[in-house]
Amino acid sequence: MAVPPDVKERKPPPANVVVLAFGSHGIRYGFAVDTTPRRLFPAVAFPRRPEAIADPAKAPVCIPTFRRRAPEDVQRARAVFAEMRNTIEVEMALRERRRGGGRPTPWTVVIEPISAPQPAAEADPTPTVKQPHPIHGSKVLVGRDVELLVRDKEKAKLYDIVFPIWDGKVLFDCGAPASLIRKALDALIAHIVEQLAAIRKKASENARKKKMNGDVRMENGGEEVKTEQLFTKDGVAGTFVALVVPETSQRRDTAEIVDAVFREPSLQTAAVFIHQSAVSCALGAGLATCAVVDIGHSATTVACVEDGLICGESRIHLNYGSWHIQNAFNMLLTDYSNLREVLQKEPGPNGRVLTDVEIADDQVVSIAKIAEQTGGFNVDENDTLTVAMVKLPSGRAIRVKLGVGMRALPCYGLIYPRTLSSASTVMTMQKNIPKRRVQEMNAADDNYVSDIFNDLRRSLIATNALAIGTFSNDPGHIASSTVDPQEASIVDAIIWSVAKAVEVKRPDQQSRTAEHYRKYLNAIVLAGGGASIDGVALALEARIKKGFLDAGLNVADVTVIDGGKGKGDEELAAAAAVLEDVTAEGGLVDDTDTASLPWKGGAVMVEADAVSEYWIYRHDWEDRNVRALRERAPFYW
């Protein structure tokens, strides 16, 4: 659809801007005027063809796949985990009495069902016959439906399951044709558009109800408004899309995502703006200069931002995140509690017998919620149990009581990363990316598209699949020996990142003063799902101060901000001044979730006049493709 000639002269209204923030384990989306975004699990399941299902030689596709770890690797990981547990127990004095209280109980766990079990229904004496699975499903599954599907082994055989985005990157290294990955990426974008259309339709209906005093009538003589019409203005493309990509994104990833947004017909995209998550986190927190620590699902990145621009040399990447913390909780609860037995024995509401899929889903959700509600760095009260009430997807609820060691040890994995890596080795399987060649496919192997020419042509949109900028601790780079991605703590990464940012600005060591470090250390913004851990800010502040003091620099003021919460109007306005016209009201809402901070920053940026020159319009993309990205991206390409 055409773009009006004067569209470049107009500032897009926030109501017409869709913000998509791609994370390591989810996509957050919504209109720029929304208070909070919605989240989509980035997985797609395509129904297989009947002839492929009937042939036992053709296994369903799962990208990526996993394989079991070698027993000796698991045994070594258990030994490392036990060693780290003892280290943390001694250093934090978990078994010493505090407050003159009772006996310490660091490793005590109590799991109780909250509601009394309902009497089960009487058994039917009529013998039951197991019904076969349906031969073929016709609906493409997206998001939460795929999460449940992967836990049902029988039903999963009817689908090809694809995770097009993995660890923040488009998964082109899986050996499958790029056409299949693009097909899944298109399905994700289409699902997001469908959800946004439903939101817009509901808002339109509510407005008509108020205007017509309850007389609900559709436009166009009572006909349903089509989805495409919801994203147009005066018959032309009217949607602007702001993309927030993670620091780990490669050039090809970014180009493919932009192309998918322009390619979606119902979205009617007029222009795209793109930025990286570190700057988005800073501006979402109402800050122009700060250090950003994004504790994502499967990775953590640290970078320094100054006046709305990222210092490329300060970027650090760590191979652990909130998912690894959950694995440590899972390992402790498996070794010390009867959580699995409780979930397997307790009936559902009204005594209903739960399926294996429901039980598995409850177990996964219970681990995540226990980690979220009880995890923390406070080890002072080690003679009491922390209590959490966990409601599960099946409708059941459990009461969890944890000792201080159970809830603190996984969180201290951010300080002692070997704890997290060893727990993940024990509790998870190893990613195994299949290397299947295109010529091995055939028509019956359903969702693979053997389109070699198209794959090669489309892959030329990015000449080098390199990261947008590089991390300073990548193999072969300057910090690779001192800030190991697997074993360096988050404190080491912050100290190194800030030191490098100052070094770039002040190459002469004699000219560096504590004041140059303070402009980053006075505002260390925590973002991502792992940033909501109780007490993480105070724990990091003390260790960062000590780290600089050990290096011979006395930094008095270190402030770690939990997602920017608590920023005053003056601080928000000072940060907004960098963007010229964003008001203080455009900054962080007090109840903004740390995991949604990158999305919030994207919503803030699109209101700035300074951003107008960075919009990539449809005709620019169609004519110049990746060159337009390179010229319009407000960061190093």
For the stretch 287-340, pLDDT in tens is 889 999 999 888 899 999 998 888 888 888 898 999 999 999 999 999 999 999
Looking at domain 284-320+468-594, does it have CATH number 3.40.50.2300?
no
**What's the rounded Cα separation, in Å, for the pair 201 and 255?**
31
How many CB atoms lie under 10 A from the CB of residue 402?
28
Q: Report the range out of 133-147, 317-331, 567-581 with the highest average pLDDT.
A: 317-331
Count of C-beta atoms within a 10 Å radius of residue 356 = 12
Q: Kindly state the helix (H) or strand (E) to which residue 571 belongs, with its residue range.
A: helix 569-577
**Contact, 323 vs 298, CB < 8 A?**
yes
401 pairs with which residues across the strands?
110, 387
User: 64: pLDDT confidence band, cut at 50, 70 and 90?
Assistant: confident
- The per-residue pLDDT for range 251-272, each reduced to its tens digit, is 888 888 999 999 888 888 889 9
Summarize the confidence of residues 142-151 as an average pLDDT: 88
Residue 181: predicted pLDDT: 86
- Which pLDDT band, with edges at 50, 70 and 90, does 280 fall under? very high
Element of type H or E holding 367: helix 356-374
Residues 459-474: what's their mean pLDDT? 51
DSSP SS3 for 618: helix
What is the pLDDT, as a whole number, of residue 294? 93
Interaxial angle between packed helices 356-374 and 322-336, expressed in degrees from 0 to 180 and rounded to the nearest 10 = 110
The single-letter code of the amino acid at 213 is N
Between the alpha carbon of residue 213 and those of residues 25, 99, 223, the distances in Å are: 44, 64, 20
Question: Which residue's entry shows tokens 């995502």?
Answer: 257
How far is 135 from 48, CA to CA, in rounded Å? 10
Structure-token pair, residue 262: 């322009």
CATH for the 65-123+138-162+323-432 domain, from 3.40.50, 3.30.780, 3.90.640, 3.90.550: 3.90.640
Q: Is the pLDDT of residue 437 over 50?
A: no
For the packed helices 178-211 and 251-263, what is the interaxial angle rounded to 10 degrees?
A: 50
Query: Taking the model in full, what pTM does it have?
Result: 0.82
Between 28 and 463, where is the model more confident?
28
Mean pLDDT of 531-560: 86
Q: Tell me: pLDDT of 360 over 70.
A: yes
Length, in residues, of the chain = 637
74: exposed, middle or buried (C-beta count within 10 Å: 0-12, 13-18, 19+)? Answer: middle
The strand pairing partners of 18, in sequence order, are: 31, 241
- Tell me: pLDDT of 211 over 70: no
Cis preceding-peptide flag for 64 (omega within 30 of 0) = yes
Percent of the chain with pLDDT over 90: 30
How far is residue 492's CA from residue 546's CA, in Å, rounded to a whole number? 11
- For 10-61, how does the pLDDT look when each residue is reduced to its tens digit (9 = 90+)? 578 888 899 999 988 889 999 998 888 999 999 999 998 888 788 887 778 7
Nearest to 500 by CA among 522, 475, 482, 527: 482
Complete edge-to-edge strand list for the sheet that includes strand 44-47: 62-63, 159-162, 44-47, 141-142
Whole-angstrom distance, CA of residue 249 vs CA of residue 173: 13
Predicted local confidence at residue 417, as pLDDT: 93
Specify which residues 38 forms β-bridges with.
29
Residue 272 bridge partners (DSSP): 241, 616
Domain boundaries, the chain: 65-123+138-162+323-432, 284-320+468-594
Q: Is 415 exposed, middle or buried (0-12, 13-18, 19+ CB in 10 A)?
A: middle
124-133 burial by CB neighbour count: b if 16+ within 10 A, else e? eeeeeeeeee
Q: Could you tell me which residue, 54 or 405, shows the higher pLDDT?
A: 405
* Tally of CA atoms within 13 A in the half-sphere of 397 that contains its CB: 8
User: CA 444, 445, 448, 450 torsion: positive or negative?
Assistant: negative
